[in-house]
Structure 1
Amino acid sequence: MKSIIKVIGLVLLLLMSASAKIENKIDVDVLTQSSKSWDGALLPNYANGQPEISILKIIIPPCTELPLHKHPLINAGMLLKGELTVVAEDKTTLHMKAGDTIIELVNKWHYGKNEGHEAAEIIVFYAGIEGKPLSIEK
């Protein structure tokens, strides 16, 4: 009788363990996927050279405007906190709020500005080439 109780207990334990694994399934959400930047332009081919990935956390204080700049490489980001406005040289504008993603302009002059009352916090992923700058100021 004790062995039957042990077997039943073991079976129950295995069933509980299996159901816990099912409940803890991995969930994947694609936040952004595109071959175009936010203004609709096709992204360029990757440059030749040793690839280098950079991940930056950028905090832009309230009422701050970044200098006019361009990125010579593909990059994308996600705004974690606050609001951010990105303005291209041709005045095309993108307004972002926390949770929004961006596939950034490549080789086009633009700037970002935080017009809000709290810091804007963005994580940006750069797919670059070793030794090359991530951005160039005008």
Structure 2
Amino acid sequence: MNRSAKYLLSALVLTTIGAYSLAWAHEDGVLKVTTVAKSTKAWDGEPLPAYPTGQPEITILRIVIPAGEKTPLHTHSVINAGVLLSGELVVHAEGGLTKTLKPGDPLIELVNKPHWGQNDGKVDAVILVFYAGVEGQTFTHIVDEHENHDAPAEK
């Protein structure tokens, strides 16, 4: 058997073993994959913008909104999505649009649109958020409600 045939046979064997291992692991309950969110649109139903150009940088933040508190009015300049880990959260956008989140609910955030989150519950709301930006970019901006312009917020 020539060298190319040996490599092909080895790759086929490894692929087959890997496929059986994955199936075996899944059948035993070791591996389970669930799509939590997949969309081309933000939570308001509008299409997501194109990704920015530059060196991609992913940021993951764990955000705690205390019971009875709300976030400032803000915008995001990049695509981001999160999953509410605990508590309850209502997100608000212009025009009275709202979305209520319970633990485990996903949220594909608004981009370049003012919004805020409000925790009317009795426990802290904890959300894990993934931001798809570019290196060095500030991705959240606090909106000055009096002057109606963006001021950079901390990353």
Per the TM superposition, whether the score is higher than 0.5 is: yes
What is residue 129 of structure 1 aligned with on the other side? 134
Displaced runs of 4 or more, over 4 A = none
What is residue 96 of structure 1 aligned with on the other side? 101
Counterparts of 1:39 and 1:23 in 2: how far apart (Å)? 39
From 60, 64, 67, the counterpart of 1:59: 64
Greater RCO (Cα-Cα under 8 Å, separation 6 or more): 1
2:87 aligned with 1:82: yes
What is residue 34 of structure 1 aligned with on the other side? 39
Shift of 1:89: 2.0
Counterparts of 2:32 and 2:46 in 1: how far apart (Å)? 31
**Unaligned residue ranges in structure 2 (runs of 5+):** 1-20, 144-155
Which amino acid letter does the alignment assign opposite residue 50 of structure 1?
Answer: Q
Counterparts of 1:48 and 1:58 in 2: how far apart (Å)? 26
Larger Rg: 1
- Aligned residues, how many? 120
**Unaligned residue ranges in structure 1 (runs of 5+):** 1-17
Post-superposition CA distance 1:20-61 (Å, at most 9, x none): 854144211001000000000000001111110000000110
- Per the normalisation by structure 1, the TM-score is 0.83
Counterparts of 2:40 and 2:63 in 1: how far apart (Å)? 24
Which amino acid letter does the alignment assign opposite residue 115 of structure 1?
Answer: D
Counterparts of 1:25 and 1:123 in 2: how far apart (Å)? 24
- Per the normalisation by structure 2, the TM-score is 0.74
Which amino acid letter does the alignment assign opposite residue 29 of structure 1?
Answer: T
From 97, 113, 134, the counterpart of 1:108: 113
